[in-house]
Amino acid sequence: MSKDIISRVFSYIVIIFSIMVFPWWITLVLSIVAIIYFSQYYEIIPLLFIMDIIYAVPTVKFHGMVLISFGTAFILVLIKEKLKKQILLPL
């Protein structure tokens, strides 16, 4: 197994642990760091989807939306990949 895969799996386990134990903002910070650090870190999307499944209920705070973490992860990954392409491979 390559070093990259090991570190990806390790980060995944850390984020799962964070979802179960730590405050949500720590999970958010860890997720952002992982998205920035790893290339094409799409696995964060189902992970935060699971977070929504565990905790989310329709509340006034989010206008009844229940996929806030999932949506945030999705947008962050897309932005990062788009930016990466524009910064590293400018046309």
**Interface residues toward other proteins, by CB under 8 A:** 19-24, 51, 54-62, 66, 68-69
Residue with Cβ nearer other proteins (32 or 56): 56
Residue with Cβ nearer other proteins (11 or 18): 18
For tokens 């930016």, what's the residue? Answer: 83
Residue with Cβ nearer other proteins (56 or 81): 56
Phi, psi of 49 (to 5 degrees): -65, -40
- Alpha carbons 40 and 80: distance in angstroms, whole number: 9
Tell me the closest approach of the beta carbon of residue 7 to other proteins, in angstroms. Answer: 25
How many Å is the maximal CA-CA distance in the chain?
46
Tell me the closest approach of the beta carbon of residue 71 to other proteins, in angstroms. Answer: 12
For tokens 């134990």, what's the residue? Answer: 21
- Alpha carbons 67 and 79: distance in angstroms, whole number: 18
Tokens of 1: 């197994």
Residue with Cβ nearer other proteins (40 or 59): 59
Tell me the closest approach of the beta carbon of residue 24 to other proteins, in angstroms. Answer: 5
